[in-house]
């Protein structure tokens, strides 16, 4: 069990409220469908990952922005309950709190449309004010629901201080080499992997070859998530496959955040990369078994019980 309050993880990222509907299928252009099971709850990749890290016993600080509105109140309430640090989490009057619209089909697949709101205002200057905290962390993790420049600055500050850096490149975009060079662990899925390299999302190239292209761009390690086919840990010394865990899928929405949060927590604790990736895969699988993002993020005891049963 991970339970080391002296380990420190800093999350530089987004908070957004998720508004979720279920339908039997996704609509086609111009079509209106009747949905069901409306749910409203806290989300944003950075925020979800911070909650996951806290649930595994880590000391975690969330660095981000929210608006002065009811959705921003939801963030502060969540972090108080989940024991996520907010010393560098600020409210801005200029923009609303981020919001995302999520639609799930009968199989649990999803699509998401996001209005970043205040997240779009998070700048390198905000990180400079938190630089000492970032430099004292064991791991710094960020995503791409904030400005690319800001995500890159987070990686740069942490790398220069010898801190482990993790970039979860979602939503993906073409990535400058100078940012990739400061990333110790890059965690794309197979679609994101292609977009990062300027390829079409369905480019037929072998994923392993594309991972090696990223290593040639000075990324330290690529941890490629492949859904039901598990994960691939690719380093300069070769690759290892991390098998998937079989579960009954209810909702895949929080799986990536459970994976990334658990990977960050495990590396902060000092676990070797392959063990950390296996633990992260288990967390991602568990997250698929419950509806909603925050309710699905596993706690340490649940994750350990699941792993011990395998």
Q: Which residues are catalytic?
A: 257
Alpha helices in 24-176 (DSSP H): 45-55, 70-82, 124-129, 131-135, 148-160
Helix (H/G/I), strand (E/B), else coil: 92: strand
Long-range contacts of residues 191-198, Cβ cutoff 8 Å, at least 24 apart: 193/222, 193/224, 196/169, 196/172, 198/174
Residue 242 makes CB contacts below 8 A (sequence gap 6+) with: 230, 231, 232, 233, 274, 277, 278, 281
In terms of Cβ atoms closer than 10 Å to its own Cβ (0-12, 13-18, 19+), residue 23 is: middle
Q: Residue 213 and residue 275: Cα distance in Å, rounded?
A: 24
| Pair 125, 267: CB distance under 8 Å | no
Q: Residue 309 and residue 305: Cα distance in Å, rounded?
A: 6
What size, in residues, is the chain? Answer: 310
Structure tokens at 83: 């024991």
How far is the first Cα of the chain from the last one, in angstroms, to the nearest whole number?
15
DSSP state of 94: S
| Pair 64, 47: CB distance under 8 Å | yes
Structure tokens at 287: 């997250």
Give the count of beta carbons closer than 10 Å to the beta carbon of residue 224.
26
Phi/psi at 240 (5° precision): -135, 140
């Amino acid at each position: 069990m991970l339970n080391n309050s002296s380990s420190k993880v800093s999350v530089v990222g987004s908070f957004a409220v998720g508004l979720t509907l279920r339908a039997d299928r996704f609509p086609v252009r111009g079509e209106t469908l009747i949905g069901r099971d409306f749910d409203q709850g806290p989300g944003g990749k950075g925020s979800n990952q911070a909650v996951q890290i806290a649930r595994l016993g880590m000391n975690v600080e969330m660095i981000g922005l929210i608006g002065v509105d009811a959705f921003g109140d939801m963030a502060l309430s969540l972090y108080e309950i989940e024991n996520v640090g907010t010393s560098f989490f600020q409210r801005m009057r200029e923009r609303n709190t981020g919001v995302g619209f999520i639609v799930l089909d009968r199989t649990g697949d999803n699509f998401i449309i996001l209005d970043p709101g205040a997240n779009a205002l998070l700048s390198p200057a905000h990180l400079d004010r938190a630089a000492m905290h970032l430099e004292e962390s064991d791991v710094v993790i960020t995503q791409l629901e904030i400005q690319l420049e800001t995500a890159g600055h987070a990686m740069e500050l942490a790398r220069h201080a010898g801190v482990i850096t993790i970039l979860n490149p979602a939503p993906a975009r073409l990535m400058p080499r100078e940012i990739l060079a400061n990333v110790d662990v890059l965690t794309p899925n197979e679609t994101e992997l292609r977009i990062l390299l300027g390829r079409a999302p369905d480019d037929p190239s072998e994923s392993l070859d594309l991972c090696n292209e990223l290593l040639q761009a000075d990324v330290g390690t690529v941890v490629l998530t492949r859904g039901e086919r598990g994960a691939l840990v690719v380093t300069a010394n070769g690759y290892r496959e991390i098998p998937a865990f079989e579960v009954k899928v209810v909702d895949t929405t929080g799986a990536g955040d459970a994976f990334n949060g658990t990977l960050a927590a495990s590396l902060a604790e000092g676990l070797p990369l392959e063990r950390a990736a296996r633990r992260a895969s288990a967390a991602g699988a568990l997250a698929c078994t419950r509806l909603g993002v925050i309710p699905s993020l596993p706690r340490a005891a649940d994750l350990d019980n699941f792993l011990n049963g395998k």
